[in-house]
């Protein structure tokens, strides 16, 4: 892990749809489970928009789309099966979005450190980032089950900042969805949104502080936020 101190500025990233394109493996796992249960698959472009709220939410959204009405106990079992299968195929088709590595290099050279705050299960988050070769770059990797609360509760972000050794006044969040933006707003942390992630409406509709279309523009967006502050 990167050594950190409270004086270092911190970038906190969402994971799915922000740092990494994970929908191919998530949707493949969802459709495997639906087929096993006798339901039709969800088309990829439709299912991609369902990603971002965690595995259980994806299962529930997929079942609703397929017309499935299963008892809670059965959904609990599907959730466990989902995690087992997904963890075994976590980076078959997943990859970092273009420019992530270069952006991290530039910010790290300028003294920034990094954390992840996601609604993905912590174990799966670490496993994915390890498979993508960047886990060691983050001072904290915090998932849906890391704290008693999760996004969009702003406390999940604040506890991530604490775990990473950061300070809320020197932190900026980067995300791709309504959940991420609301989390940052609830924590009173500035937020940069990427417009290529998993969202049902254009991300601008949720009023992030800045929007970028490529990680090449993250530096300028952060500089702009710091100047405005």
Please give the positions annotated as active site.
14
- In whole angstroms, what is the distance from residue 107 CA to residue 221 CA? 12
- What's the rounded Cα separation, in Å, for the pair 54 and 103? 26
Token pair belonging to 226 = 């710091």
- Exposure string over 66-85, b if 16+ CB within 10 A, otherwise e: bebeeeeeeeeebbebbbeb
Ranges of H-type helices in the chain: 23-36, 44-48, 55-66, 72-88, 100-109, 122-131, 154-163, 178-187, 218-228
Neighbours of 32 (CB within 10 A): 16
């Amino acid at each position: 892990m990167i050594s950190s101190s409270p004086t270092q500025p911190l970038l906190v990233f969402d994971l799915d749809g922000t740092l990494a394109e994970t929908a191919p493996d998530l949707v493949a796992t969802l459709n495997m489970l639906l087929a096993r249960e006798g339901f039709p698959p969800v088309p990829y472009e439709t299912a991609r928009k369902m990603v971002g709220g965690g595995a259980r939410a994806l299962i529930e959204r997929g079942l609703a789309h397929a017309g499935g009405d299963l008892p809670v106990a059965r959904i609990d079992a599907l959730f466990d099966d989902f995690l087992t299968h997904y963890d075994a195929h976590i980076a078959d088709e997943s990859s970092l979005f273009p420019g992530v590595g270069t952006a991290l290099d530039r910010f790290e050279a300028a003294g920034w450190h990094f954390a992840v705050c996601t609604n993905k299960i912590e174990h799966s988050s670490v496993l994915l980032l390890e498979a993508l070769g960047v886990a060691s770059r983050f001072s904290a990797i915090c998932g849906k089950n890391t704290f008693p609360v999760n996004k969009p509760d702003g406390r999940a972000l604040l506890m991530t900042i604490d775990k990473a050794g950061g300070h809320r006044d020197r932190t900026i969040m980067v995300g791709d969805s309504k959940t991420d933006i609301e989390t940052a707003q609830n924590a009173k942390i500035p937020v940069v949104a990427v417009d290529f992630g998993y969202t049902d409406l254009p991300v601008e509709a949720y009023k992030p502080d800045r929007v970028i279309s490529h990680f090449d523009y993250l530096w300028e967006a952060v500089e702009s936020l710091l100047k405005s502050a």
